[in-house]
Structure 1
């Protein structure tokens, strides 16, 4: 979403300086869009810091970091500081101390963490004049941590530059094995193990179906991919589990799906659900985070999280009822392409930033 945001700002005539903590492949794409950028090391809230001890260390080092960042703000004299993630808290404090309006775009929903951790993690948002949340669920999570955040939070749903819509739902060849696709980082949060158990239930009910898990693991989580393979072998469906790894372009995989499942245990928004709907594929999502918002008004099927039987029942119903699945796919496609446009997203974000800039010196 950062690249989409930057391009929208540049096209609107906004002068942008992107500051990142370390070099990486992102900078090449940023430069191609004509965005000025600078590498300036500063702390990022990695997962390893999401503990009382880790957060305490971050707080102790804050004064020195704030002085460095304030020096950058004095040099640049920005109208507004836009922080693209909750994991860069020092910029919010530095901007407030320097008298520069700050907007933080929150795309994280750490509801599974201890409350002491989530309250500390979200406390820096109190230094932001405006908070942008990527879903109503994220906004509600923030307000539950600090009630004062409710009045300053605005929901801006993600926007997408979709490929052209396919002519209609997938038409598998007669007698061909049906396919359920799950796209996302292989992680316990994404619930691929729930999908494997649902696959076994479907096969046990007589469905000729396979499961494709598109994605790879973060370093250190190789054990999870191994556990998925072991679980499939244990349940007798190893020959029906496809693991193609990471794919930069997931659109072809969505088009190859009879049904797309998003069985997440935790999901602030749910981009894959939107993209699958835009690809005119029926979607089944777990009822967590922002996923029910995407599937509302009958655009998708919502099932309880961590419930393989419920997921299997929903998938099986769609596999058995092609007419019903086709109607769900068309309804989801219309919803996704109407609600999650890139133009709408950029206009709403620009409106938030312009309103924040007008408060400078007020």
Structure 2
């Protein structure tokens, strides 16, 4: 039986900015792009969330919802440095650490001798250490697997700690709403609800074959998660599955030629990102287009090289299907990796 801790820093970027500037502590605060230049909110504090501000929201809309909102431009170098300090604290408890982003990680403390092996006490102590040394708060979830630990860390935010013991797994999962399952978004949740699956207890009535018929490969995950089963290990080193870059434009691109003119700059950024990652072995190219009404399309094609003409064709296919102004363009490569990993993306919002 594993002992897994999922740690998620609370409003990380905004919390760092408020820590470094006391004037920002008790005001609605967000980190993101400028509202007058098509910026997007990266994160915000809980005061701002009470006004309906959230990540990925247009900064202009955020300011309308919360006129007193202070938006600070992101300082990624500062956040990376703080993230390194957090990882150093994690390493005092275990060497098996799987970072998911700058502000989130899994820790496997199954073999840790700290606090006589108590994962609960370890989680409590590392939270207190982060707050004492870095003046930041974190929420943590403790459970027998990654699936449940991630759900637990989100249960009592901010500055929360929730423990799901092996004995509690069956009853906890039975009552868990299906939209709490990692990977279940609005569309999948609606489809599950239409099939009368509203809780994991409901899902337990379905066979694995039925779920795979309805949801493809994800159906197998649904079958296991509905029973609290997750055999994934905490991996200290993870391979990327893809690399991409994207850019939000200061003004909508009105025609396809205007969009295509933006492609060379993005392609140069993608080449630089690929070179840094030393990942030249890829199997396909893809594009992402966000339109003025915030709808998004993606297109992908098999290719082993970075071919400008292929990307241009994908963009033409995507834009021809929705003749609207283009707000954002992204391009990327899918890597030849058999190891499960996360999308590596370099975002270039307009500030």
Structure number having the greater strand percentage: 2
- Shared fold, TM over 0.5: no
